Structure 1
Amino acid sequence: MMKLVFPRKLRLLTPDQFNFVFHHPQRASTFHITILGRINTLDHPRIGLAVSKKYIKHAHARNRIKRLTREYFRLNQHLLPAMDFVVIVKKGGQELDNQTLMKILKKLWRYYCRQVCVF
């Protein structure tokens, strides 16, 4: 049975971990969201979130986006390649409803699976 948990080891926590991804990333983006990814040396994917107060003014909107992104990652982590991901939300991201946000995340992470995974 597969455990769908989100422990600390699946998160990017330090500036060095984020800088690793920012230095030579693979990029997948839509108008509202960009996901940067870089293959890591671990056997599991990790995620970091960058939701700027500059673009998403209200804390409740930033928290909603982060919560939904983490939940999507938690449920689909077993499908993702062993990469470090940074999800960047751009201007207008707060206008996305929950279902649209999930569809965008699915589309962007599917891009990484096609690029890296061998089926």
Structure 2
Amino acid sequence: MPCDKKRHVKPHGLSKEERIRKAEDFKRVRRGGKRLTCENFVVFLLQNEFGYARLGISVRKALGSAVARNRAKRLIREFFRQNKAKLPAGYDFLILPKRDVSHLSYKDVERELGELIIGRPFKA
């Protein structure tokens, strides 16, 4: 049976295609991407060949327990999921928390990342 390579972008979810999953893609975005920083996050972004935004998250073990790291990842994923229609299409976003953000509310994360990413003009 032939495999149909359709893009399955969920309107309110986060599909596999919308995630950066390969180590080489993480390295490519980190090395060649534009770096944006705010109080709690570092964001690398790089134009991709797709017509949609992709998300990668990297949380260091030094930022806390597994519970804290997982909460940080959930907060970032939820920001991306809720705001992907507002994000510039065709970019890979690699988001790294600078410190433990598990104590922040979703609204705090949305405000901080939104001010950093949404509505900003990006150049290739």
Shift of residue 44 of structure 1?
Answer: 0.4
Q: TM-score, normalised by structure 1?
A: 0.84
Looking at structure 2, the residues matched to 7 and 69 of structure 1 have their Cα atoms a distance apart, in angstroms, of 15
Q: Which position in structure 2 is the counterpart of 1:58?
A: 65
Shift of residue 58 of structure 1?
Answer: 1.4
Deviations 1:50-101 (A, max 9, x none): 111112x111111111111111111211221210010011124334333212
Larger Rg: 2
For this pair of structures, how many residues does the alignment match? 113
Q: Verify: 1:22 aligned to 2:65, yes or no.
A: no
Contiguous gaps of at least 5 residues in structure 1: none
Report if aligned partners of 2:72, 2:100 keep a CA contact under 8 Å in 1. Answer: no
- The runs of at least 4 aligned residues of structure 1 exceeding 6 Å deviation read none
Q: Which position in structure 1 is the counterpart of 2:108?
A: 100
Q: Which position in structure 2 is the counterpart of 1:86?
A: 94
Higher fraction of helix: 1
Q: TM-score, normalised by structure 2?
A: 0.81
Q: Verify: 1:34 aligned to 2:42, yes or no.
A: yes
SS in 2 for 1:116: coil
Percent identity between the two aligned chains: 27
Looking at structure 1, the residues matched to 30 and 54 of structure 2 have their Cα atoms a distance apart, in angstroms, of 14
Most deviating of 22-31 and 87-96: 87-96
In angstroms, what is the RMSD of aligned CA positions? 1.8
- What is the correspondence of 1:4-19 to structure 2 with a 5 Å cutoff? 4-19=12-27
Q: 1:98 to 1:75 in 2, by over 3 A?
A: closer
Looking at structure 2, the residues matched to 97 and 114 of structure 1 have their Cα atoms a distance apart, in angstroms, of 23
